[in-house]
Every structure is written in structure tokens, then in C-alpha cells.
């Protein structure tokens, strides 16, 4: 057993995020430029064997929860094999995935069989035109189908992440609550935050307190 991961504030860390690729099948305006992206070559990425070896060391330091991210992690070939290896690592209790959901319909069953427990799915609108304004490509139906596939696969928890932007999709907060209210998912409204050159400006920001106020004014259960 190695020494636990403790930061300078005395907090013990048990959670590790691993980015398995920098590639993505969407080009969300707040995350990635439409073109001219310098992507890592395949040889620059950690192999599954290397990831497993590194994770074993972290597990010996007290890490027990792992989340796979990207880019879009489902673009990494053979991902279920990696998840199977991680889920069998001594000390790892839970493996999660953050995805845009586009490929989830095809992967939900093999991911579940490999040992994936939880899924975070990014979705910022229920409107196809707005979806294209944000992502530049793709169909919102694929994401909604992916969410249903995750529900059918009994992943838990399933978290839907909506980045709220003023005068763009803030009018859909109530729509999201109504759409997902009876579904077994956790709905999370996230502040629009600066990230590299994502065109962030304060005028687009709606603070969490304002989001809570919007919800409280519309829904009595939150008042």
C-alpha cells in the first residue's frame, strides 16, 4: 500500500479522471474550435496497458473511483476492454463515463457488460436548431436515444449536464425539468465557464443563484 493522495489543504483524494482521447465528433462552441485543432497522434496517447498500470498505482494510493473523459471517450476504439480492465482493478469500486451521448445507443450494452456503472451526458438544448448552433454538427435525436439506452441499461446515476447561457438556452431550464422529471436521471445546470478560447464573456453567464431562482419561481417543489 502506497501513501494516500493528500493535498496541501489536508484533503484526501479518492477520485481520478482519465482523458482517453482528445478527439470529438462534435464541435461545441464553448469547448472546441470548428477546425484547425492540433490533435495528438495515436502514438502520443497512453495505451490501455499503460493506463491500467498507472491506475493500479493510483489504486494503491487510495483511488477508488474513476471517470473516463475526452474529447469524446466513445471514439477510442476498444473502450469496453479498458473499462473491463479498470473495473477488475483491486481497490476500484466505481467506473464512470462522461459523453455527448451520440454513440451511446451502440455502446450502452457492451459498456454495462464491461463494468461501467455511471454515465454523465452533455445536453444543452432540446431544440435541434439550437443544438446545431452549439455543436455545429449532429442530430439531437441521437443524444436523446443515447439517454434512453443508458436508462434501459440501468446505469446509476445517469447525470444530464446542461450548460446554461444567458439569452441562448436559459429559457429551456423549465423545459428540461419537465422533460426529465419522471426519468431516472439527475439533471444538473452548469454555469458557462471560461475554457481556453471558447468565446466566453460575462454577458452569457447566469450564476447558479440565478438558475436556482428561475427554478424556484416556476416549480413549487423547489421553492
Count of structural domains within the chain: 1
What local confidence, expressed as pLDDT, does residue 196 receive? 59
Distance CA 77, CA 98 (A): 16
In a domain? residue 3: no
Distance CA 158, CA 146 (A): 11
What's the pTM value of the predicted model, to 2 decimals?
0.93
Whether 111 contacts 80, CB under 8 Å:
yes
In a domain? residue 10: no
In a domain? residue 72: yes
In a domain? residue 116: yes
Helix, strand, coil percentages, rounded to 5, for the chain:
40, 15, 45
Domain hosting 69: range is 15-222
In a domain? residue 4: no
| pLDDT confidence bin for 219, thresholds 50/70/90 | very high
The DSSP bridge partners found for residue 160 are 121, 187
pLDDT tens, position by position, 59-115: 999 999 999 999 999 999 999 999 999 999 999 999 999 999 999 999 999 999 999
Using CA atoms, how far residue 90 sits from 11, 16, 52, 185, 216, in Å, is 23, 15, 11, 29, 44
For the record, the C-alpha cell of 196 comes out as 481556453
In a domain? residue 1: no
| pLDDT confidence bin for 38, thresholds 50/70/90 | confident
pLDDT tens, position by position, 141-167: 999 999 999 999 999 999 999 999 999
In a domain? residue 24: yes
The DSSP code sequence of 149-213 is: HHHHTT-SSEEEEEEE-TTTTGGGHHHHHHHHTTSS-EEEEEE----TTS---GGG---HHHHHH
| pLDDT mean over 48-63 | 97
Sign of torsion, CA 140 143 148 149?
Answer: positive
Which of 28, 15, 211 shows the shortest CA–CA distance to 118? 15
User: Which DSSP category does 40 fall into?
Assistant: P
Q: Is 47 left (phi over 0), alpha (psi -120 to 50) or beta?
A: beta
Sign of torsion, CA 198 172 25 149?
Answer: positive
Q: Are strands 15-19 and 65-69 parallel, antiparallel or unpaired?
A: parallel
Q: What is the CATH number of the domain that holds 176?
A: 3.20.20.70
In a domain? residue 37: yes
Amino acid at each position: 500500500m502506497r501513501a494516500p493522495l493528500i493535498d496541501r489543504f489536508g484533503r484526501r483524494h479518492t477520485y481520478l479522471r482519465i482523458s482517453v482521447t482528445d478527439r470529438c465528433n462534435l464541435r461545441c462552441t464553448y469547448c472546441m474550435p470548428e477546425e484547425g485543432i492540433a490533435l495528438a497522434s495515436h502514438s502520443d496517447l497512453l495505451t490501455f496497458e499503460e493506463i491500467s498500470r498507472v491506475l493500479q498505482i493510483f489504486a494503491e494510493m487510495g483511488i477508488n473511483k474513476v471517470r473516463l473523459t475526452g474529447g469524446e471517450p466513445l471514439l477510442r476504439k476498444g473502450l469496453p476492454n479498458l473499462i473491463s480492465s479498470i473495473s477488475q482493478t483491486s481497490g476500484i469500486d466505481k467506473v464512470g463515463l462522461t459523453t455527448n451521448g451520440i454513440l451511446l445507443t451502440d455502446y450502452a450494452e457492451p459498456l454495462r457488460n464491461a463494468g461501467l456503472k455511471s454515465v454523465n451526458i452533455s445536453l444543452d438544448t432540446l431544440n435541434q436548431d439550437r443544438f446545431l448552433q452549439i455543436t455545429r454538427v449532429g442530430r439531437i435525436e441521437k443524444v436523446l436515444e443515447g439517454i434512453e439506452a443508458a436508462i434501459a441499461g440501468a446505469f446509476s446515476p445517469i447525470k444530464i449536464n446542461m450548460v446554461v447561457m444567458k439569452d441562448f438556452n436559459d429559457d429551456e431550464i423549465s423545459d428540461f425539468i419537465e422533460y426529465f422529471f419522471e426519468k431516472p436521471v439527475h439533471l444538473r445546470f452548469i454555469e458557462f465557464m471560461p475554457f481556453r478560447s471558447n468565446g466566453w464573456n460575462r454577458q452569457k453567464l447566469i450564476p447558479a443563484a440565478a438558475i436556482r431562482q428561475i427554478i424556484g419561481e416556476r416549480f413549487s417543489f423547489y421553492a
